Amino acid sequence: EYNEYQNSLKKHGSGEIDSGFRVFATEKSAYGTIYLGKFEADRNIMKKYCGYVSLSNLPVSANVKVSGKDYLLEAVSGTDLSTVTILTLADLSSIKDFISERRYIFYFAMFMSALLILMIANSVAEDILEPIKKLTYGMTRTNAGDFSYRIGYERSDELGVLCQSFDRMMRGLEEKKMMGKMLSGSAQKETLHGHANASRKADCVLLYVGIPDFSGYMAKMPPAVLFEDLKHHVAYIAGVISDEGGEIDKIIGDKQLIAFHPDSRSLDECLKSACKAALRISGGEAMGSLPFPVAQGISVGTVVTGFLGVGEKRDFTVIGDTVNVAARIEAFAEKQRFERCLVSEDVYKMVSSVYKGELLGEVELKGKSEKMPVYILYLLKNTGAVYI
């Protein structure tokens, strides 16, 4: 069997069997007598590598030049016959041709791999950078006082949690801003000073503004048009009130209760501001700046201020007879065809040095047992008309 094995190796080595490579074998102790066939001229090269394997019992691999050609040489100990050294030669030209033939396929595969890696990297980078960009933009909007921006990222990783926390923060800030708009300055001061559960008496000037025959407008106008005109009407009045230092305490349909609190100024100054605001509103009606006519009543006196409501749903308000008087005067003013800016006698006495008034008469006010003098208010003394 060993002789047959040796003969088979000799056939491979001599090229009688064309397998694309040459195989040689020799006893480790007699590697100098290895049969090399047509490679006999290069025996010294072969002996050297066979000697390495015989001495170290380790495999050897090298690129060698044999018979003027480049070969890949491999020499190893036999597996079943450990006393044998097996040496192979493979023509490198065939390997190089194989690589050359497939070079473009290899380059294309490398290019596609690199492109795929870039696409994946870009996708990952975009996935990370997009929420960061939105967070940065949201911070810019927050710095500008705009709390309506939302990122809206629904993801469960750390960036998703961060974006959702940012949205919750913005929602809270927007709600606080909205509450700041809805609460009057007095309500905010009471809350900040810890008086949210307290009530107190104070002198105050009240201006009650309404729209004569508003139910008639409701019956005739389309709801969308009516509501849009009412928003413009309220916004115009709110602008005037803000200019004159008043606060809209309540908006009930077409009615607005406006308070002038003497917190940082005298009651006399509050009265003058309330009268000026009322006359500016009447002037706006005369000039066509308001979509609806107005009726106004002004009173002055002591009111009770505080938060009213149940549980968390509470409203800062003013109550008292002064509020009722202003509302009754406004209701009486609605019945007048002209000159619908009316004030109580107490108000007129305190502002008569600045504004001209005319006694409309003693009228019965609902809820009052005695008649009350009511005055028409004009802008300036010796002026018979109302202007802004």
Per-residue pLDDT of the chain (388 residues; tens, 9 = 90+): 556 655 665 565 554 445 557 888 888 888 888 877 777 888 888 889 999 988 888 999 999 888 888 888 999 988 877 888 888 888 888 777 777 878 888 888 889 999 999 998 888 887 778 888 888 888 888 888 888 888 877 777 888 888 888 888 888 887 666 655 544 555 555 544 544 555 678 889 999 999 999 999 999 999 999 999 999 999 999 999 989 999 888 888 889 999 998 888 899 999 999 999 999 999 999 899 999 999 999 999 988 887 765 555 556 678 888 898 999 999 999 998 888 999 999 999 999 888 888 898 888 777 777 888 999 998 654 444 443 3
Question: Which residues are registered as beta bridge partners of 313?
Answer: 310
Same-domain check for residues 252 and 341: yes
Structural domain including 93 reads 2-100
Same-domain check for residues 199 and 261: yes
Same-domain check for residues 367 and 266: yes
Same-domain check for residues 293 and 353: yes
Straight-line distance from the first to the last Cα atom of the chain, in angstroms, rounded to the nearest whole number: 127
Domain annotation covers residue 186: no
Question: What's the pTM value of the predicted model, to 2 decimals?
Answer: 0.52
Angle at which helix 267-286 crosses helix 223-243, to 10 degrees, equals 140
- DSSP label of 336: -
Question: Of 181, 213, 234, which residue constitutes the final position of a domain?
Answer: 181
Question: Of 68, 100, 132, which residue constitutes the final position of a domain?
Answer: 100
Same-domain check for residues 165 and 211: no
Same-domain check for residues 164 and 220: no
Q: How many domains does the chain have?
A: 3
Same-domain check for residues 303 and 163: no
The conformational region for residue 3 under phi > 0 = left, psi -120 to 50 = alpha, else beta, is: alpha
Q: Which residues touch 328 (CB under 8 Å, ≥6 apart)?
A: 297, 365, 366, 367, 368
Q: Compute the distance between CA of residue 158 and CA of residue 75 in angstroms, rounded to an integer.
A: 57
Same-domain check for residues 244 and 356: yes
Residue carrying the six token digits 């000799």: 10
Q: Compute the distance between CA of residue 317 and CA of residue 72 in angstroms, rounded to an integer.
A: 100
Domain annotation covers residue 154: yes
Domain annotation covers residue 166: yes
Domain annotation covers residue 302: yes
Same-domain check for residues 43 and 142: no
Same-domain check for residues 259 and 368: yes
Same-domain check for residues 119 and 96: no
Question: Which residues are registered as beta bridge partners of 343?
Answer: 298, 375
Q: Which residues touch 339 (CB under 8 Å, ≥6 apart)?
A: 358, 360, 376, 386
Residue 271 class from Cβ within 10 Å (0-12 exposed, 13-18 middle, 19+ buried)? buried
Domain annotation covers residue 189: no
**Residue whose C-alpha is closest to residue 80's, from 5, 142, 17, 7:** 5
Same-domain check for residues 95 and 115: no
The two tokens of residue 276 are 């000026």
Domain annotation covers residue 246: yes
Domain annotation covers residue 9: yes
Question: Of 44, 65, 100, which residue constitutes the final position of a domain?
Answer: 100
Domain annotation covers residue 335: yes
